[in-house]
Structure 1
Amino acid sequence: MTDTELLARCTTVLPGHRARTPAEMFAAMAAWCDANGIAHDTYGDGALIQRFEARVAEVLGFEAAVFCISGTLAQVTTLRLAADARGRAPVALHPTAHIFVHERSNYQLLGHFDALRTGDPFRPWTAADITGIPDRLSAVALEIPMREIGGQLSAWDDLQAIKAHCRARGIHLHMDGARLWEAAAGYGRPVAEIAAGFDTVYTSLYKGIGGLGGAMLAGSREFVAQAAEWFKRQGGNVIHRSPYVVAAAMQFEQRLAAMPAYFERTRFLFDVLRDHPVLRVNPARPQANMLHVHLPVSRERALEIRRELARDHGIWPFNRVNHGVLPDTAFFELYVGDNLLDTPDGRVREAVALLAAAVERGLG
């Protein structure tokens, strides 16, 4: 039986939101469109997309926002424009930045900008990581929260100091806010307060929001208009954005409203995990509705454990699992969404206990 077939049979799935089939998703979109009289946009011109762009800008506290077909396109374009406007000085990025880890050197091979790695790869940025850079910078790009280190956040005071430093030196401050909605509960502050002081913010329409894909870039009207033109030049001028916009807009407000509940559920999960020392959790306390769980077994053994729990107990404990830094270790990400929110406390405790027991057997 394939992993996909095993997952489909599981009655308890810990990570993420419940996956809708294409038929379910499209039916929900059709019903929402019918109820709200939705018409297609044409190359981004239409009431639906313009209202939604305005709504995202409003929530983030910016003058304007524009849809982009992917966050990858949105971010490298933003940082290229910032670098071009400042004599092509380097862009400062954390070692775990999405641009480094997942984008196949696009910034370099496509000549977008020069990048400077700064900071500790296992810690979020402090103010000193940025203020201590002696080089002239065109931009600083800060991920909030930092996914590759378990959803960690820079301390609030450090974040404010970074904002002040960039403002004083004319450095473009950009946020990789793919999961910004999730960080609001961790900081205990509205997203507009977190975003205040940034020149631009990218956020995803499909991660926490649960849409089909796509992204938004928010900033000043002038910058957003310039970025939109460059999206077109780079092949992002899709004739109908409406499928992506509908999929996000129809659940946008509900997802934002649910973020505090996801965060509280993450705290509960953290406490459950701490009852099993064989499962090591990063960060030391939840800072967003996601965690990394480190295992003292190989990635191959972790995948076997997942199959065992799915086959024998109907439990799907994690999705992707990665090799750890040390031999015979592995770790996985747990994003807390509707699945865990809807799972009874007792079943969560049972699932974690079964996972821990299987890991302990693997040590033998």
Structure 2
Amino acid sequence: MPAKIGFVSDNLRQRRVAAVRACGRILSGERPLTMRERLAGLDGLDGMPDYYGSDGPVAELEARVAGLLGTEAAVFFPTGTMAQQVALRFGGTGAVALHPLGHLEMHERLAYAQLSGLRAVWPTTEPRNPTAAEILALAEPVSTVVVELPMRDAGFVLPTWDALVAVTGAARTRGARVHIDGARLWESTPHLGHGLDAVAGLADSTYVSFYKTLGGLGGAALAGTADLAAYARAWRHRHGGQVFQQWPFALSALAGLDRELPRVPSYVRHAPTVATALAGLPGARVFPAPPHTHQFRLWMPHPADALNDAALRLAESAGICFVGGWRDAEVPGMALAEVTVTAPALDWTADDVADAGSRFLALL
């Protein structure tokens, strides 16, 4: 029976992927690409590959990221989970200030505790990053204060620039380092009103992802001082991240920096138009309103299975990819989806969204 269940699940996933690939209009997300399409779109394939990440496109990528973030150095990692563990280990032992909704708690299997012996202190449980007052009020010393920009599991929310400056200053007052969990830092600068280098300049270490937002095949970078970089290279090896060649990841990340990063501000600007139109659907609610980035949460008063089925049927029958990935929310009777506004959604007007939404709900 377990094998049969998995087979059915795989078939459903393949059906959804096929439906979205055939859609002429996509509101949330991107058209899925095949492996051949992903590689065919990369530049630099005639160059020499990297050798254990010490040269070639990996070294080029590290230099590029350090330049964008205004740091002395940056180190490529195969995963963000690995990069974040090294960043927290560099800060020292003992306690670290984390948010219970942060990525380190929600999506990394508590690696900071299991692998490095660190212990979390929660400055707040509110669905936002901690305030300066909350950091100053911590009951015990912490080696590192982690700030997630944006906080995905709170709804892709960001602090104001002044609040961010204040909380990093409070961390320093407490004698703690500041680490930015910036997997989605690329889209945070419009709301913060400052560039990537200014944001990273507030921290001692900054992690960025290459597959989130930029559309890379995978990988991450940890940026900071030259001392951090030397430490990171040693511990990357110890964590098993000294991969022989990682040029496909590096080339796809460079492509994302060249092609996608310049377009991200336009996605952020268009997100409020999409969010407002979605909020006008019967029983719908969006958060935050307006969105802080090009991603936000959408709630609808219907079962998640019914919404996912309607999304699939709309894609197959009308070639319209509306909003998918629904899951039943904590609020009874409501389902939740994450909406991502990227290039395919830029030509959607508010009327387009409302019309597609009506067609979507009619299929329930």
Indicate how the Cα distance of structure 1 residues 278 and 259 shifts in structure 2: closer, same or farther if over 3 A, else same: same
Secondary structure at the counterpart of residue 251 of structure 1: helix
Matched, 1:228 2:228: no
- The aligned residue for residue 85 of structure 2 is 76
* 2:26 paired with 1:17: no
The structural deviation recorded for 1:5 is 2.9
The alignment status of 1:256 with 2:296, answered yes or no, reads no
1:112-151 equivalence runs, <5 A: 112-151=117-156
Residues 149-192 of structure 1, C-alpha deviations (whole Å, 9 max, x = no match): 22110122211111111223321100010000100122222111
Q: Name the structure 1 match of 2:61.
A: 52
Q: How does 1:313-352 map to 2 (within 5 A)?
A: 313-343=318-348, 346-352=351-357
Q: Which residue type is aligned with residue 246 of structure 2?
A: R
8 Å CA contact 2:132–2:168 kept in 1: the answer is: no
Residue matched to 1:26:
39
**Gap change, CA 1:102 and 1:295, over 3 Å in 2:** same
SS in 1 for 2:330: coil
Cα contact 2:77–2:222 (8 A) shared by 1? yes
Q: Name 1:247's counterpart in structure 2.
A: 252
Confirm whether residue 207 of structure 1 aligns to residue 207 of structure 2: no
Counterpart Cα distance in 2 of 1:343 and 1:269: 8
2:161/2:193 contact within 8 Å kept:
no
> Separation in 1 of the partners of 2:289 and 2:222?
32
Q: 1:262 to 1:186 in 2, by over 3 A?
A: same
- Compute the displacement of 1:277 (Å): 4.7
Matching residue of 2:72: 63
CA displacement at 1:242 relative to structure 2:
0.9
**CA distance in 1 between partners of 2:21 and 2:33 (Å):** 11
- Amino acid corresponding to residue 17 of structure 2 in structure 1: T
1:4 aligns with 2:13: no
How far the C-alpha of 1:290 sits from its partner, in A, is 0.6
Partner secondary structure for residue 308 of structure 2: helix
Q: Is the 8 A contact 1:76 1:112 kept in 2?
A: no
My pick for the range that moved more, 50-59 or 311-320, is 311-320
What CA distance in whole angstroms lies between the structure 2 residues aligned with 1:274 and 1:171? 41
Q: Which amino acid aligns with 2:83?
A: A
Q: For residue 110 of structure 1, give the secondary structure of its aligned residue in structure 2.
A: helix
2:94 corresponds to which of 72, 79, 89: 89
Give structure 1 stretches of 5+ with no counterpart. none
**What residue is the counterpart of 1:185 in the other structure?**
190
SS at match of 1:104: coil
**Deviation string for 1:72-111 (max 9, x for gaps)?**
110012112213xxxx221111111111111223223334
Equivalenced residues, count: 351
1:158 aligns with 2:163: yes
Cα displacement (A) at 1:343: 4.4
User: Against the structure 1 CA distance between its residues 347 and 202, is the aligned structure 2 distance closer, same or farther, given a 3 Å change threshold?
Assistant: same
Q: Is the 8 A contact 2:28 2:323 kept in 1?
A: yes
Offset, 1:256 = 1.8
Once the two structures are overlaid, the 10-residue window that deviates more, 92-101 or 16-25, is: 16-25
- In 2: Cα distance, 1:103 partner to 1:90 partner: 17
In 2: Cα distance, 1:155 partner to 1:127 partner: 12
SS in 2 for 1:107: helix
**CA offsets, 1:127-167, max 9 Å, x none?**
22322212101111111011112211012221111111122
- Determine helix, strand or coil for the equivalent of 1:332: strand
CA distance in 2, matches of 1:51, 1:196: 21
Which stretch shows the higher mean deviation, 43-52 or 136-145? 43-52
The one-letter amino acid of 1:136's match is: P
Partner SS state of residue 141, structure 1: strand
Per-residue deviation, 1:356: 4.7
**One-letter code aligned to 2:312:** R
State TM-score, norm by structure 2.
0.90
Q: Which residues of 2 match residues 27-42 of structure 1 at below 5 A?
A: 27-29=40-42, 32-34=43-45, 38-42=47-51
Match of 1:269 in 2: 274
Corresponding residue SS for 1:25: helix
Distance 2:56 2:309 in 1: 50
Letter of the 1:242 partner, please give it. Answer: W
State the TM-score, normalized to the length of structure 1. Answer: 0.90
Distance 1:200 1:292 in 2: 28
Which residue does 1:43 correspond to in 2?
52
2:78–2:218: 8 Å Cα contact kept in structure 1?
A: yes
Once superposed, what is the RMSD of the aligned Cα atoms? 1.9
Deviations 1:54-89 (A, max 9, x none): 111111111100100000110012112213xxxx22
8 Å CA contact 2:280, 2:354 repeated in 1: no
CA contact (8 A) 1:80 1:112 kept: no
